[in-house]
Structure 1
Amino acid sequence: MSAEARLRETLCLLARSLFERGLTHGSTGNISARTEDGGLLVSPTGTSFGRLDPGRLARFDADGNHVDGDRPTKEMPLHSAFYDTRGTAGAVVHLHSCHSVALSLLTEPGEEFLPPLTPYGMMQLGPVELLPFFLPGDPAMGQAVRGLAGKRSAVMLANHGPVVAGRDVEAACNAIEELEATAQLALLTRGLNPRALTGAQQRAVIARFDLEWDA
């Protein structure tokens, strides 16, 4: 099996896992991954994460031309923005996960989106930028990500869903699951005065794991 064939299988396998565990639903969400030749594999528009076909993924060449497969997701500006601004991005995942969307309804853009409840959100995500509401498919979403100049690996689209870039598709999926789990913890403990990580504890995590941190 070629490297691209393995990547196609892995992308669809992980997407189905996210779907089967309720982290996205219906035909929501999209996922992409960088190929060895610098191109992209992208989930098609209007498809379910639970039923992606490896042979029908949209294929882009290294110049950004759609060369094979079905028509890609309408959220391509989001994906392109991460690839163009973060040199380490090897995959991008966007979900409509329930707890993170719910938390976005209770948080204003500019506020800290994910509280520092565990070290793992810090380690896998860094600071998560809450972006304002955009209409689905609006290229302005990609422009907003570009405006962050590659300083964020994860953003939350208000009233919509999270978007996470990772070094590969496994890392991106792991990180977006951590985002959803942290959002769930934040909702479960909201109003209960939870014991979050102190400033000193946060600095220790940043130093111990050599995190890039531009809060």
Structure 2
Amino acid sequence: MFLDEHTAKQQIVAFAKSIFDRGLTSGASANMSVRIENAWVMTPTNTCFGFLNAEELSVVGLDGTLLKGLPPSKEFRLHKAMYDQRPNDRCIIHLHSTYATALSCISATDNSNVVPTFTPYLTMRLGPIAMVPYFAPGDDALAESVGKVAAKHAGIIMANHGPIVSAETVESCVYGMEELEESCKLALLLKNENANTLTAEQINFLLNKFKK
């Protein structure tokens, strides 16, 4: 079910400020969108999550035409690539959060599952996290790369850039991003430890019970 434009704007402003206030992103380094009927509401280019104005948020048609507000984030095509592959999702968040971005700078042995499963919660919220190669922010090739894996991955880490998460509601998108950041923190803290991860059987149980 789609939110109306007013509610979408209010939720973006409230959750973005919460994300900023808790130090999950800084400066003008993040973007967020909510899909409404026949359009997207999105944070404008070069704006800070801590100081958004609801009336200035971008309203963008499905063809990319700016309908209201300030020009949207240059990552609009990145968001569209995920929405195109995940038609039931209504919110996307991209951050430069510290631990997920740090992990994005480390080569992975399996780009379809780059965050170790130390706890069940990331699997429950997002499933396995993919990594895509580095491309410059706003590059069409980045959107294309994300689009290729988005159907099977609600959470994606872009190499040397940061995480992007898609979900069916604004709340679940925020919670998924928070869990991804915490899981990346655990991965880095335990990197040189002989730490236990969940077994394949335990992970499959979670994937079947909490399908993403």
**Secondary structure of 1:92's match?**
strand
* Residue number in structure 2 paired with 1:101: 101
**Secondary structure of 1:147's match?**
helix
* Closer, same or farther: CA 149–19 of 1 in aligned 2, 3 Å: closer
* Residue number in structure 2 paired with 1:14: 15
| In 1, Cα distance between equivalents of 2:150 and 2:119 | 26
**Secondary structure of 2:28's match?**
coil
Q: What letter corresponds to residue 51 of structure 2 in structure 1?
A: R
Using the TM superposition, give the Cα deviation of residue 3 of structure 1 relative to its aligned residue in structure 2, in angstroms: 3.4
Alignment of 1:51-130 (within 5 A): 51-108=51-108, 110-111=110-111, 112-130=113-131
| In 2, Cα distance between equivalents of 1:109 and 1:139 | 26
| In 2, Cα distance between equivalents of 1:127 and 1:45 | 30
Deviations 1:88-118 (A, max 9, x none): 1101100000001111222337443110111
**Secondary structure of 1:114's match?**
coil
Q: What letter corresponds to residue 156 of structure 2 in structure 1?
A: V
**Secondary structure of 1:47's match?**
coil
* Closer, same or farther: CA 53–132 of 1 in aligned 2, 3 Å: same
Q: CA contact under 8 A between 1:90 and 1:167: conserved in structure 2?
A: yes
Aligned residue pairs: how many?
Answer: 209
Deviations 1:120-177 (A, max 9, x none): 1001111111111111111111101222261211110111110011102111111111
Q: Are 1:50 and 2:50 matched, yes or no? A: yes
Using the TM superposition, give the Cα deviation of residue 67 of structure 1 relative to its aligned residue in structure 2, in angstroms: 0.8
Alignment of 1:1-215 (within 5 A): 3-35=4-36, 37-108=37-108, 110-111=110-111, 112-148=113-149, 150-209=151-210, 211-212=211-212
Q: What letter corresponds to residue 75 of structure 1 in structure 2?
A: E
Q: CA contact under 8 A between 2:100 and 2:181: conserved in structure 1?
A: yes
* Closer, same or farther: CA 149–104 of 1 in aligned 2, 3 Å: closer
Identity percentage over the alignment? 36
Please give the TM-score of this superposition, normalised by the length of structure 1: 0.92
* Closer, same or farther: CA 200–167 of 1 in aligned 2, 3 Å: same
| In 1, Cα distance between equivalents of 2:141 and 2:155 | 17
**Secondary structure of 1:59's match?**
strand
* Closer, same or farther: CA 62–179 of 1 in aligned 2, 3 Å: same
What do you get for the CA RMSD once the two structures are aligned?
A: 1.6
Consecutive unaligned residues in structure 2, runs of 5 or more:
none
Q: CA contact under 8 A between 1:94 and 1:161: conserved in structure 2?
A: yes
Q: CA contact under 8 A between 2:122 and 2:183: conserved in structure 1?
A: yes
